[in-house]
Amino acid sequence: MVGSRSRYRALEVVDGLKERWTGRDLTIEAADNEGAADADLIVIATPWDGATQTAQMVETHLRGKVVISMANALTKIGKEFQPLVPPRGSVAASVQAVLPGSFVAAGFHHVPAKELGDLDHPIESDVLICSDHPEATKMTAELVAKIPHMRPLDCGELSLATPIESFTAVLLQLNVRYKTRVAVKFTSIPE
């Protein structure tokens, strides 16, 4: 019964996206986690505390594939967002630990989710990418480069996911304080 509810919810989401993005040639299909894991490139966009469990549930489907982790371990204490440090240092490193046969990249941490989903109003942002696997970095960068006004930046190895994920708390705090949606853009790096 849970599976049919999940499938029904996935169909509702697809219908909502197609309605929201009318006039665009988008191929979107509903699937559960196993169906999504059959894609060539996987993005784990769950709440941070479910990312490793979700990855682990479909680990056999993800072997040999690039997996992008975009979750940030954060909590809100009072009026402030605070970064949390998962046991392996970052959500991305925790995902890599449960997916030893996959190629995990950390990316999209600083892009506001609502704005990322608004195809009519592109957001200008750099996307920091780190991975221990050159192919994962390359594929993630190629995906970022397809999004108008976004620029992929290779930040190095997966160990740098810790400060990248943590910095999201600062950006969220700026959003609250200034009632806006900030994005990261680095200067002096050639296009």
Written as tens digits, the pLDDT of the chain (191 aa) is 345 666 677 778 778 777 877 777 767 777 888 888 999 999 999 999 999 999 999 999 999 999 999 999 999 999 999 999 998 999 999 999 999 999 999 999 999 877 887 777 888 999 999 999 999 999 999 999 999 899 999 999 999 999 999 999 999 999 999 998 888 999 999 88
Rounded alpha-carbon distances, angstroms, from residue 65 to 56, 91, 140, 148: 14, 18, 12, 25
- The pLDDT score that the predictor gives to residue 13 is 77
- The pLDDT score that the predictor gives to residue 2 is 40
Alpha carbon 17 to its chain centroid, in Å, reads 18
SS3 138: helix
- The pLDDT score that the predictor gives to residue 121 is 82
Q: Pairing between strand 41-44 and 66-69?
A: parallel
- The pLDDT score that the predictor gives to residue 113 is 79
> Which H or E run contains 81?
strand 80-83
- The pLDDT score that the predictor gives to residue 115 is 81
- The pLDDT score that the predictor gives to residue 6 is 67
User: Alpha-carbon torsion 102, 108, 112, 117, what sign?
Assistant: negative
